[in-house]
Amino acid sequence: MKKKLLLLLAALFCSIVQAQEIKDAMRYSQTELHGTARFTAMSGAFGALGGDLSSININPAGSAVFANNQFAFTMGNYNIKNNSNYFGTSASASENNFEINQAGGVFVFKNRNPNNDWQKFTMSINYENTNNYDNSLFSAGTSPINSLANYFLSYADGVPLKTITNNNYAFLNNGAQQAYLGYYGFIINPVADVDTNTSYTSNVRSGGKYYQENSVYSNGYNGKLIFNSAVQYKDKIYFGFNLNSHFTDYVQNSNFYESNNNPLDIDYEVKSLNFSNNIHTYGAGFSFQIGAIAKITNELRMGFTYESPTWYNLQEELSQKLTSIRSNTVNTRPPDVVDPHVINYYAPYDLRTPGSITGSIAYVFGKSGLISLDYKYKDYSCTEYSPENDSYFRGLNADIQNSLGSSNEIRLGAEYKIDKFKIRGGYRFEGSPYNNSTTMGDLNSFSGGLGYSFGAIKLDLSYIYSNNTAQEQFFRQGFTEKAQIDTHKNIFTMTLSFEM
């Protein structure tokens, strides 16, 4: 009964969570290469081609290129491996799962009047899994510099002792909750044992080395449901419009362990600690796209697309637990455990991710093959949290404008037909959205695939390999150590499509 009451109180009294970071905004701003096997085999370079259900995600005019009704369903195997380096110590973690990449259909309505220049009208609905959040990170190493105790000190500084001791965890804001955990976990002590004290010291002895492990396990997805319509004018121009519904669900379980080899005495000094954070973020959003494809000649096509920002409304839940072992209690009593048994339900907030423009060009070699190139421009500094009257969000938005910049993405794809077989390949480059290019590096991706036509039924297979590097910062403030992460992704995709 007491636990249920605390859960309810947390839901009633918690205000807007002040725990978002730039990397959280990036999670919903960037998309991976998902979709049909033909689309992914050519690295998504379909802005001037159309005729593929996933091409609608790039240029909504692409549905008007279809000659007949078509339905497609795509499954994929997703494998990710993260190699970590933390103070010279290497570690790795991997994750593997199956997913539904795409499912949808297009309906083609042809104008039977030969004198009407508007030759075709199409409607389609398509689901795209734009991001797979299933991931595992593990970093381990020995830091000669900082202890996690600095994290709790940074939040406790300025918080009156009476705020911590006279309140339940559920009634405190996010910053005071971290001070609460550090105080009752014996990680920090007040300088003076009086209610008005606002200064604290660490119970972790300095001057030695700290062995640390950081484990992060996440799962979830970011999906996009596309409602599309398009028209064909004569045999030269195609126009299209998308209304997109976005929905996301992200769960992250992180655990940080630290032990030290510093000389300890009988005072309350920490020998080791274990800090767990479980975050659940979920919500929905919307965006729209307009696009056009023009046949310059029978062989040469050009395309242009504008994609609006995506407006998300998100909610977040957080639960925490801290365990510590003190030097004067080793082998004499259980560890100190601070488990509030509280899930913090924070007020909803809004996130606007940046829009983009895409220019495309393709050359079709009759019925034997094609080559296509897409260029996308996206300014990540336009990312914005709201409500803007929240002081934390104002500061975070300023950090976003200073840290993020524009990114250029290039997609190149080719296809060659041999009887009923098609051979495909592609390359994708996406520049870092960060101004320093070290927090997150450039992405390079290679793809290839095969297709076989049984007539009205087609089977396509693809493989994607991508690699990029990043810095994983463990905590937002106080303890800002970073591990170097080298990420390798392998995605196998199969699509079965039916034409009617």
Please give the chain's pLDDT, 500 residues, in tens: 444 444 444 444 444 445 688 999 999 999 999 999 999 999 999 999 999 999 999 999 999 999 999 999 999 999 999 999 999 999 999 999 999 999 999 999 998 888 888 999 999 999 999 999 999 999 999 998 889 999 999 999 999 999 999 999 999 998 999 999 999 999 999 999 999 999 999 988 877 789 999 999 999 999 999 999 999 999 899 999 999 999 999 999 999 999 987 766 666 678 899 999 999 999 999 999 999 999 999 999 999 999 999 999 999 999 999 999 876 655 555 678 899 999 999 889 999 999 999 999 999 998 899 999 999 999 999 999 998 778 889 999 999 999 999 999 999 999 999 999 999 999 999 999 999 888 999 999 999 999 999 999 999 999 999 999 999 999 989 998 999 999 999 999 999 999 98
- Burial grade of 396 (CB within 10 A; 0-12, 13-18, 19 or more): buried
Q: What is the pLDDT of residue 491?
A: 96
- 168 lies in some domain: no
Residue 115 tokens read as 């004198």
Q: DSSP assignment, residue 434?
A: B
Does 173 fall in a domain?
A: no
Say if 151 falls within a structural domain: no
Best CA proximity match to 433, nearest among 377, 359, 489: 377
Give a yes or no: residue 346 inside a domain. Answer: no
Burial profile 206-239: b = 16 or more Cβ within 10 angstroms, e = fewer: eeeebbbbbbbbbbbbbbbebebbbbbeeeeebb
DSSP state at residue 42: T
Q: What is the domain extent for residue 432? A: 16-144+204-331+354-499
Per-residue confidence (pLDDT) for residue 12, from 0 to 100 = 41
| 280-318 core/surface letters (b: 16 or more CB in 10 A; e: else) | bbebebebbbbbbbbbeeeeebebbbebbbbebebebbb
Q: What is the pLDDT of residue 246?
A: 97
The pLDDT value recorded for residue 334 is: 66
- What is the count of structural domains for the chain? 1
What is the Cα–Cα distance from 243 to 387, expressed in whole angstroms? 25
The pLDDT value recorded for residue 10 is 44
Asked if residue 50 belongs to a domain, the reply is: yes
pTM of the entire predicted model: 0.90
Element (H, E) at 394: helix 391-403
Q: Is residue 155 part of a domain?
A: no
Residue 282 pairs in a beta bridge with 249, 315
Is position 462 within any domain?
yes
Look up the CATH number of the domain holding residue 295: 2.40.160.60
